[in-house]
Amino acid sequence: MGEHGQQFAAFLTYAALGPVEGYTTQEWRTAIAALPQKGLQESAQALVQALEGAADQREEYWKNRILPFWRDVWPKSRDRVTQNISASLARLCIAADSEFPAAVTEVLDWLHPIDHPYDVISRLHKTGLCGRFPVPALLLLGRVVTDPTWVASELGQCLDLIVQANSELACDSRYQRLREYVRKRGG
């Protein structure tokens, strides 16, 4: 994609999110699918930035822009998922705020383990989403956190909020696995 490839991928994503006269969904889908791996990673990051930039309109932006883009434009071949894309999509879910459960459901198959999940865990903890939406929060954490070499204290705090909001989740195997990481690693 050359030296301006990342900017092009972000520009293409922003254009596909907004109503642009003269372009069909199929044309956007073809263009995004043609991006090389780094371009697709940049596209995922652009989705996060666009949603975060929507400020107090995040829920509406999720419903009216990001969700249609995800369903109609984003490539369907999950063999293109990378740790960077997974991390960006986890941040996208978190940025969706009250649409967090819907966002997790939509991108779930693209959420894969990431080697350094600190940023995702920290963002999730700061939002309070673990207490508001314990089941999707545990689902997200269970997908992206696998046997970390160190554990952020926020992971233990997220798990505490999850079981405070829904005590039945203490029996969930994902919760128990994550709690064991915290216990072993002192997070």
Q: Could you give the CA distance from residue 25 to residue 31 in angstroms, rounded to a whole number?
A: 10
Output Rg (C-alpha) for the chain, integer angstroms.
Answer: 17
Helix (H, G, I), strand (E, B) or coil at 50: helix
The whole-model pTM stands at 0.93
3-state helix, strand, coil in the chain (%, to 5): 75, 0, 25
Interval 128-178: pLDDT, tens = 999 999 999 999 999 999 877 677 789 999 999 999 999 999 999 999 999
Span 38-58, average pLDDT: 95
Interval 92-142: pLDDT, tens = 999 999 999 999 999 999 999 999 899 999 999 999 999 999 999 999 999
> What letters, b where the CB count within 10 A reaches 16 and e where it falls short, cover 96-123?
bbebbbbbbebbeebbbebeebeebbbb
The total number of residues shown for the chain amounts to: 187
Interval 19-31: pLDDT, tens = 788 899 999 999 9
Closest CA to 135 of 102, 182, 157, 107: 102
